[in-house]
Amino acid sequence: MQNKKTGPGLEARGVCFRYGKGAPWVLKDVNIKIGAGERVALTGPSGYGKTTLARILAGYETPVQGEVLWEGRPLPKTGCCPVQMVSQHPERAVNPRWKMEKTLRECWEPDGPFLQKMGIEQAWMKRWPIELSGGELQRFCIARMLGPQTKFLVCDEITTMLDVITQAQIWRVILEEAKSRGMGLLVITHNLALAGKVCDRAVELPKLGRWQGA
Amino acid sequence: MEGQKNKPVLEVEDLCISFEMYGKGLEKYRLEMVHHLSLTVNPGEIVAVVGASGSGKSLLAHAILGILPGNAKVEGRLAFCGQCLDSAAQQKLRGRDIAFIPQSVEYLDPLMKVGKQVLGTGARREKKQRMARWKQVFARYRLEESVAGLYPCQLSGGMARRVLIAGAVMEPVKLVVADEPTPGLSETLAKETMENFRELAAEGCGVLLITHDIDLAFQVAARIAVLYAGSVMEIAPADDFSGDGSALRHPYSKAFLQALPQNGFCPIAGSQPYAGNLPPGCLFAGRCPKRTDACAGKVEMRTLRGGEVRCIYAE
Amino acid sequence: MDKAGDGMATGKKKMGGFWNRRQKTLCSIGFAAAYLLLALLAGLLVSPESYGVDYGAKFLAPCFAHPFGTDEMGRDMFFRSVKGLSNSIGIGVLASAASSVIALAFGVTAAVKGGIADRFVNWCVDLCMGIPHLILLVLISFMMGRGQKGVMAAVALTHWPELTRLVRAEVLQIRSAQYVQASYRMGKTRMWAAWHHMVPQVLPVYLIGVVLLFPHAIMHEAAVTFLGFGFPPEVPAIGVILSESMKHIAAGNWWLAVFPGLLLLLAVMLFDVAGENLKRLWNPNSGNE
């Protein structure tokens, strides 16, 4: 059993990415190493591919060159991925034709105490996504990703669209969960105060790779 | 003209917005999302509206511009510079006297170069004037003329924001409604955007700033209205929002400030009630530390220490 | 802090009053379906004798015995029109079924496979839509040797392009939806995602497409027959009836064209209204109006 803090964790090696042949490179030679239980903030100006990097790290996109490793092995292609991602717009991340109950249980079966910890009320389960606010939806999106197989969570501006109270509520839950199960976090944010509260260290994207003008 | 100067640019009185929705099968019901909202914006003043998502902030903006969907119903009085703002007036005024700054470039036509979109349409004989104005606006927001040849998807975040503002102020507007202009922007860019609004206000324009970034809003706004579950909880001078919020009147506004990362990052429990299932009396009672049985009765807006508050225990 | 379900609801107000759109839509669909079934059944039950030749009753204006009048050979126009409409609807059903199957297969293949398959399907769609529809119908019918077989093949093989585009666009859009991609990352298989995420989304659009295709098929059948490339003259079809009536309209025998034409128009319009209403209802932007 490896030590939680010093495990190899998530690593991107020489990742290059672009959308389609001939398109300009979005990411060029990006290297990043995050320990298994580490919480890292990723900042940087908009338009530098922070979201693209997040999608690659969580396996949504395959890098054109380079590789993404989890615990020294490439991310699994099938089955539930140990690295999961939560995105900025919860209303786009849930099926509008599903009741919340089904959305929540798409991957695993969260129990009552867990839902209470997440601040998800029983009455919300029978509602449609359109009947919940962004903050409430985001709780569902996070809860459904926190199955037992999830070892690392990529948070792409997950509270940018939310008010400060909900923001604080959500981060409190995620931090508790991360600490208790030794889960690592990559937090993409523009809010430096928030990054300081949540993360151990911060990295800036333009410094991670080589850029030929943006 | 002088008479108009003193009149508020925007008056909102007792605004209620409801939606017709279908329940199970064929049953149709009405859902009230905004309840008895009153608000004024004076010339040269920035009024910020803050609140959780789902509290009805954007609906307020859409109601002022008359761009709510077909199943919405608006009650109450809207007035622009003293004249009644009905749907005919909205159609005439929006884009000319009332400008809307949307959340993102997704509101722009993706297949049209931004220069043309900012330029907009106008009578042919005014073309020269419009071009001159366009150059002026581009220079003012530090947009190079080459930016005009780009498509919306090619803009970076900060540039997109400046393009949206530039498009809004092409006409000599009297009222600017900005819907969440800052999320996703770095702190410098967000501050710059706020600075742009301050400049607009300095020229005599009224600005209604809809946001949840209270820390940015209180730096530029004159007054801040706090919305919760479709009701105004408090309208207070922006100075009251500095520090830890002890000058504030309503427990919700206080909780809002204390949840900021730089102010303790300390949330209150619970969540905003759903519009279809609101408690009677004070909407915040379920999460309020000061709640008593009296809170279940009707709670009216009242004036207190230079602001307004909807709480019977505020002091 | 239980806010739900203890009778405190104040925000929801039930609405009474006029019929809302959902009720109207259901009504129009019911009406259209009833009309379709009635015409189809009536057509099957009508015996050929009821519109047999009777030279003693040539060119009778509408009366009690012959509500739609009679033609040059004394045939009862009411029964002929009903039988004709039934034939037309039969063709419409067939064409809708064939076109929808083609469209579904092509649309899904194009969107899921992409690349060459996608380009091939798009090329077929462009080819089909590039030729004026009526000319294409006539060409196919002519190639198949006219008659019943010709008109059936022509109508069935030319109505799929629009629906194919629709299905393709819908599948493409939902395939890149965040919640579908998240579903894959949560370990769901392609089949599971297709069944739970995609089918419920594409089905309504597809069904509306099929309903809206129906009036087109009926109209085109009538048009091809009218031009003489469809049903042979002895089969009672709306197109045949209308083209025959052209010879006698100048002589003042207006009923020969008016009543069969109205029957056709009614059928087409009913389905159009039902389809349009369905479309508005299933569209999330206008669905709550």
Query: Does residue C4 register a pLDDT over 50?
Result: no
Mapping DSSP to helix (H, G, I), strand (E, B) and coil, where does residue C159 land? coil
What per-residue confidence (pLDDT) applies to B145?
84
Q: Tell me whether A119 touches chain B (CB under 8 Å).
A: yes
Domain annotation covers residue C191: yes
Confidence label for B166 from pLDDT (cuts 50, 70 and 90): confident
What per-residue confidence (pLDDT) applies to B228?
92
What per-residue confidence (pLDDT) applies to B125?
74
What per-residue confidence (pLDDT) applies to A41?
93
* Tens digits of residue pLDDT in C255-268: 888 888 898 888 88
What per-residue confidence (pLDDT) applies to B2?
43
What per-residue confidence (pLDDT) applies to A145?
92
Cα separation, B200 vs B176, in Å, equals: 9
What per-residue confidence (pLDDT) applies to B131?
87
As a whole number, the mean pLDDT across chain C is 82
Q: Tell me whether B296 touches chain C (CB under 8 Å).
A: no
Cβ distance C9 to B276 less than 8 Å, yes or no, reads yes
In this prediction, residues C1-8 reach a mean pLDDT of 35
What per-residue confidence (pLDDT) applies to A3?
42
Q: For a pLDDT cut of 70, what percent of chain A falls above it? A: 93
What per-residue confidence (pLDDT) applies to C274?
82
What per-residue confidence (pLDDT) applies to A211?
44
Nearest neighbour of B20 by CB, restricted to C1, C15, C285: C15
In this prediction, residues A66-82 reach a mean pLDDT of 89
Domain annotation covers residue C67: no
**Residues of chain B that touch chain A, judged by Cβ-Cβ distance less than 8 Å:** 50-55, 156-158, 180, 183-187, 189-190, 212, 214, 255-257, 259-262, 265-272, 274, 276-277
Q: For a pLDDT cut of 70, what percent of chain C falls above it? A: 91
Q: Count how many Cα atoms sit within 13 Å of the Cα of residue A37 in the half-sphere of its side chain.
A: 13
Neighbouring chains of B at 3+ CB pairs under 8 Å are: A, C
Domain annotation covers residue C18: no
CA distance B77 to chain A (A): 27
Q: Which CATH class is domain A10-209?
A: alpha beta
Cβ distance C3 to B286 less than 8 Å, yes or no, reads yes
What per-residue confidence (pLDDT) applies to B5?
55
Query: Does residue B24 register a pLDDT over 70?
Result: no
Q: Tell me whether C176 touches chain A (CB under 8 Å).
A: no
What per-residue confidence (pLDDT) applies to A54?
92
Confidence label for B281 from pLDDT (cuts 50, 70 and 90): confident
Query: Does residue B132 register a pLDDT over 70?
Result: yes
Q: Where are the domains of chain B?
A: 2-221
Domain CATH for C225 = 1.10.3720.10
Domain annotation covers residue C267: yes
What per-residue confidence (pLDDT) applies to C11?
53
The four Cα atoms A93, A94, A96, A98 give a dihedral, to 10 degrees, of 160
In this prediction, residues C43-50 reach a mean pLDDT of 79
What per-residue confidence (pLDDT) applies to A4?
44
Q: Choose between A207 and C42: higher pLDDT.
A: C42
Confidence label for C7 from pLDDT (cuts 50, 70 and 90): very low
Cα separation, B110 vs C126, in Å, equals: 25
The most confident of the ranges B163-167, B216-220, B230-234, C236-240 is: B230-234
Q: What's the structural domain count of chain C? A: 1
Interface mutation vs chain C, best among A52, A106, A120, A122, most C CBs within 10 Å: A106
Mapping DSSP to helix (H, G, I), strand (E, B) and coil, where does residue A34 land? strand
* Tens digits of residue pLDDT in A107-144: 899 988 889 888 888 888 888 888 788 888 999 999 99
What per-residue confidence (pLDDT) applies to B64?
93
* Tens digits of residue pLDDT in C146-164: 888 888 889 888 889 989 9
The four Cα atoms B77, B80, B83, B85 give a dihedral, to 10 degrees, of -50
* Residue C122 CA: distances (Å) to CA of C26, C107, C126, C169, C199: 35, 9, 6, 11, 22
| Lowest-pLDDT range of A10-24, B65-79, B123-137 | B123-137
| Residue that the structure tokens 């007036």 belong to | B89
Interface mutation vs chain B, best among A115, A163, A197, most B CBs within 10 Å: A163
Cβ distance A79 to C177 less than 8 Å, yes or no, reads no
What per-residue confidence (pLDDT) applies to B3?
46
* Tens digits of residue pLDDT in B73-127: 899 999 999 889 988 999 989 888 999 998 777 788 888 888 888 887 776 777 8
What per-residue confidence (pLDDT) applies to B23?
67
In this prediction, residues A161-187 reach a mean pLDDT of 90
For residues A206 and A29, the answer to whether their CB atoms sit within 8 Å is: no
Query: Does residue B28 register a pLDDT over 80?
Result: no
Interface mutation vs chain A, best among B29, B274, B287, most A CBs within 10 Å: B274
Q: Choose between C234 and A90: higher pLDDT.
A: A90
Confidence label for B1 from pLDDT (cuts 50, 70 and 90): very low
What residue in C sits closest to A78 (Cα-Cα)?
C187
In this prediction, residues A47-65 reach a mean pLDDT of 89
What per-residue confidence (pLDDT) applies to B252?
92
Q: At what angle do helices C77-113 and C160-175 cross, to 10 degrees?
A: 40
Residues of B in contact with A190 (CB under 8 A): 184-187, 190
Structure tokens at C12: 């929801």
What per-residue confidence (pLDDT) applies to C10?
46
In this prediction, residues C104-109 reach a mean pLDDT of 89
Neighbouring chains of C at 3+ CB pairs under 8 Å are: A, B
Query: Does residue B27 register a pLDDT over 80?
Result: no
B231-237 and B223-228 strand pairing: antiparallel
For residues A54 and A83, the answer to whether their CB atoms sit within 8 Å is: no
Mapping DSSP to helix (H, G, I), strand (E, B) and coil, where does residue C79 land? helix
Cα separation, A166 vs B213, in Å, equals: 12
The most confident of the ranges B173-177, B264-268, C202-206 is: B173-177
As a whole number, the mean pLDDT across chain B is 86
Residues of C in contact with A92 (CB under 8 A): 177-179
Query: Does residue A213 register a pLDDT over 80?
Result: no
Domain annotation covers residue C15: no
What residue in A sits closest to C200 (Cα-Cα)?
A97
CATH fit for domain B2-221, picks 3.40.50.1820, 3.40.190.10, 3.40.50.300, 3.30.70.260:
3.40.50.300
Residues 186-215 of B with CB under 8 A from C: none
Phi then psi dihedrals of residue B124, to 5 deg:
-65, -40
* Residue A140 CA: distances (Å) to CA of A100, B273, C91, C119, C123: 8, 17, 50, 39, 43
Nearest neighbour of B52 by CB, restricted to A166, A193, A197: A166
What residue in A sits closest to B57 (Cα-Cα)?
A163
What per-residue confidence (pLDDT) applies to B37?
92
User: How does DSSP classify residue B94?
Assistant: B
Confidence label for A7 from pLDDT (cuts 50, 70 and 90): low
Structure tokens at C166: 């629709």
Q: Tell me whether C188 touches chain A (CB under 8 Å).
A: yes
In this prediction, residues B41-51 reach a mean pLDDT of 93
Query: Does residue A212 register a pLDDT over 60?
Result: no
In this prediction, residues A41-50 reach a mean pLDDT of 82
Domain annotation covers residue C133: yes
Q: Choose between B62 and B21: higher pLDDT.
A: B62
User: Dihedral sign, CA of C200, C204, C207, C209?
Assistant: negative
What per-residue confidence (pLDDT) applies to B49?
94
Q: Choose between A212 and C176: higher pLDDT.
A: C176
* Residue C207 CA: distances (Å) to CA of A113, B269, C191, C202: 43, 46, 21, 9
User: Dihedral sign, CA of B104, B105, B108, B109?
Assistant: negative
The four Cα atoms A40, C183, A172, A204 give a dihedral, to 10 degrees, of 20
